[in-house]
Structures are given as C-alpha cells and as structure tokens.
Amino acid sequence: MTTADDSKLAAALGAIGRDEELRARFLILLRQVEARLARLDLDVRETVTGPIVDALHRDLGPLQKQLASGVEFHFHYRSKIAREFVLAPDMRPDHVWEPQTTRLLLELGRDVAHAVIGGAYSGDQAVLLARQILKQGGVVHCFEPNADQLAMLKLNARVNGLNNLKFNPIGLWDRDRDHLQLVGDDSFAYPAPAAADAEGAFLTTTIDSYGRLDGIERLGLIMLDIEGAEFAALRGAERYLGQPRDAAPHIVFELHRHYVDWSQGLDSTPICQYLTGLGYQLFAVRDYQSNVPMGNQPIELIRPDETYLEGPPHGFNMLAVKNPVILANPAFRFVSGVSPKLLKHRDPKLHQPLAGAA
C-alpha cells in the first residue's frame, strides 16, 4: 500500500470512529481479534489492534468513561494510557492504568494526610487516591507541567466532587526555580533544562521547599512518574525521606532503562543506593502497563537482587518503604526470579502473575 492508501484507510476508520455506536461495536470486535490471534511471539495490541483503535479515535475530542466505583473520568486520546483504557476488557473497569500500581497506592494511602504525585497527568492515580482519603481530610498535591493534562485533571476533580487535590503546573526537581521544558509527546515527554523564555518552559520546586511553604510536617506517600527526573525529585525531598521509619513517606517511583543503567543490578543504581542509604527497603512492582482486571490477585513484589531485568529497554515501578511491617498482609506477595513487566505475549513463567507462589 502507498502512503496515500494508508491515509485513506486511516480516514475511513476515523469516519467510523465518529459514530459512537459503531465505534463501540468495533471495539468489541477488536477485543475478539486479540483473543483469537493471541500467541507468545506476537504483541497483537501493538501490531494489529492498536493502530486500528488509534485511527478510530484520531478525530475525536476528549472522551469520558465511568469506573466501577462511579468515578467519571475524562481524557484526551493522545497516549498509550488512553488506548489501553479504551480497550479495557471491562465496560466499567476499577482503574484507569496500571492495575497493581493503582491498588498499591490505594493500599499505602489508606491513612495518609498528605500525598505528593509528580507527573499527575489527567489524574489516573491522583483522582482515585484523592477520593479514598477525602473523608479523612487527606490532600493529594499534584504536579503536572503539561497544561492540557493539568486542565483535564482539574476537570476530573470537579466532576467527581473532589476538593482535596492541589494543582501545581511546575516540575519536581532537586533545585528551586530552575527552568525545564518537556521534550517528546504527551505521556512520554521528559523534562530537560531550558531557558526561562523557551517555549513551554516551566519552573521547578523541591518537595522539601514545597512542603515547607505549605506547612506540611509529614508526607505519607510520594508517587513519581516523571520520565527520568525521579532521582532529582527524591534528592529534593531529603528532609522528608530522612525522617524516622514511622514518619518517612512510602515511595512509588518509575525506573526506565532509557534513563537508568541497571546493567550491574538494581541495587547498584544511584537512585536505589540513595534510598537504601536513607534506610529504605526497595522492591520492584509487578504490573501491566495497561488496563487489565486483576481482581483479588495479590500485589507481587520482587527484591532488587531477585528481579529479572533482561529484554528490550523497558520501565517499571519500584516501591520503597522504611517500615516493611506494612507489607505483612494478604494484599502483598513476595516472588523472585521473575520480571516486573507483566506481558501477555512473552514467556508466562517470567511475565505473568505466579499462581500459588509463596
């Protein structure tokens, strides 16, 4: 096919996508296609159904979907997060993105008064956490320099009656009042140093400085998904991270091989050594970067020296806690020798939850 033919096909699928009923029927068929074509050597979502879904949604404005909890979630179709949410096997799923990370944050955040989310995006995690801690007066402090996604986050807070999110259009860093700009597309954009007058430039703050100005003595939870800036943000939070184990925040953060060299093992990476030096214990979190029903499946955690890391460049979330007693409950399960990346098209012994593991 020529480029012109490709354009015609995409336009044809876009015309179908503009009809809501036809689009819904098409999505049902595509889920059936995925089940029919599924095999270990083929990523059906990336190579077959994903491009079709992208074309179906290419001309659409913001979309809306309701979760099982009743949460109303609005989103732009601009990322893999949106694609996976649209293709969720449940009509009303219990999460937006990364099922086990969502459950982990809600488990850790049960009693927190203050939580920080760096890279809050449109609220896939922040809205659910804020909803959970609303009655106890808990606050979620959101940092998102992408103006479109921050606006969507504000909308999602408003339509769900949540007044306990604070919105900060700035970046988390290890210095205050530096200037950064986002490089790349939407959810994959990473922060890079910028001139103050550069297009899209935004200011930075440290978590320590922000907390001091806001009068926060204790943070219960920090979640960071900021495309390589995680270490800088954590260095800027040392006042909180250095607190005793019953006061220091739990931390969930992303590691990606594009930004972190783990060739000598996770334990040897500067970010993990930094946290270990402050008294934290670390674990890799096994999860799908997708929307997959996990039901009552325990949240599987892997110690750094027991984590399978082979494969193409990839990323996953880590958990850092000072008081591991909180992990001694049925919500968690410790496993070893497996990958933190849950994938349907790779060796299930490495990339699927371990049924009945100790």
How high is the mean pLDDT in each 10-residue block of the chain (358 residues)? 78 94 95 94 94 94 96 96 96 96 96 97 97 96 96 98 98 96 87 93 97 97 95 98 96 95 95 98 98 93 97 94 94 97 94 76
User: Which residue's structure tokens are 């929307």?
Assistant: 291
Residues 122 and 223 in one domain: yes
Q: Last residue of some domain: 55, 86, 117?
A: 86
Q: How many domains does the chain have?
A: 2
Same domain for 108 and 81? no
* Residue 254 shares a structural domain with residue 185: yes
Looking at the fold, whether 81 and 132 belong to one and the same domain comes out as no
Has residue 334 been placed in a domain?
yes
The pLDDT, as a whole number, for residue 358 is: 43
pLDDT for res 357:
52
Inside any domain, residue 160: yes
CATH number of the CATH domain containing 342: 3.40.50.150
Query: Is residue 209 located within the same domain as residue 342?
Result: yes
| pLDDT at res. 114 | 98
How far, CA to CA in Å, does 301 sit from each of 74, 298, 305, 358? 31, 9, 12, 12
> Looking at the structure, do residues 76 and 17 belong to the same domain, yes or no?
yes
pLDDT of residue 185: 86
Q: How far apart are CA 12 and CA 301, in angstroms?
A: 45
Residues in the chain: 358
Q: How far apart are CA 201 and CA 51, in angstroms?
A: 32
Asked if residue 338 is part of any domain, the answer here is: yes
**12 is in which domain, residue-wise?**
3-86
- Residue 90 has a pLDDT of 94
